[in-house]
Structure 1
Amino acid sequence: MSPESDPDLPAGVERRRLDGRDRLATRGEPVYGEPTDGEWRVWDAGRSKLGAMLQSGMDTGLGGGETVLYLGAASGTTVSHVADFAGPTYAVEFAPRPTRDLLPVAEARDNLFPLLKDARKPETYAHVVEPVDALVQDVATRGQAEVANRNRRFLREDGRLLAVVKARSEDVTADPEDVFEAFLDALSGYEVLETTSLDPYHEDHLAVVARPE
Structure 2
Amino acid sequence: MELEKSKYEGIFIINQKGRRNLVTKNLTPGKSFFDEKLYKINNEEFREFNPTHSKLGAAIIKRISLIPIKQSDKILYLGASHGYTPSFVSDIVGKNGVVFCLDFAPRVVRDLLGICEERENMIPMLADAKKPETYKTRITEVDVIYQDIAQKNQVEILLKNLQFLKPKGYAMIAIKSRSIDVTRHPQRIYQEVEDKLKDKLKIIDKKELDPLQKAHCFFVCQKK
TM-score after normalising by structure 1: 0.94
Of 14, 17, 26, the residue aligned with 1:16 is 14
What's 2:34 paired with? 32
8 Å CA contact 1:94–1:118 kept in 2: the answer is: yes
Question: Counterparts in 2 of 1:13-162, with a 5 A limit?
Answer: 13-18=11-16, 20-28=18-26, 29-38=31-40, 39-58=45-64, 59-86=66-93, 87-162=97-172
Deviation at 1:124, TM superposition (A): 1.2
8 Å CA contact 2:167–2:223 kept in 1: the answer is: yes
Structure 1 segments, 4+ long, off by >6 Å, are none
Deviation at 1:74, TM superposition (A): 0.3
The AA in structure 1 aligned to 2:47 is: R
Higher mean C-alpha deviation, range 25-34 or range 120-129: 25-34
TM-score after normalising by structure 2: 0.89
Cα-to-partner distance string for 1:16-59 (whole Å, 9 max, x where unaligned): 12453211111333221111114311010110001112222221
Q: Number of aligned pairs?
A: 211
For residues 32 and 110 of structure 2, what CA distance do their matches in structure 1 show? 17
Q: Please, which runs of 5 or more residues in structure 2 have no aligned partner?
A: none
8 Å CA contact 2:104–2:129 kept in 1: the answer is: yes
The AA in structure 2 aligned to 1:31 is: F
Aligned Cα root-mean-square deviation (Å): 1.4
Deviation at 1:122, TM superposition (A): 1.1
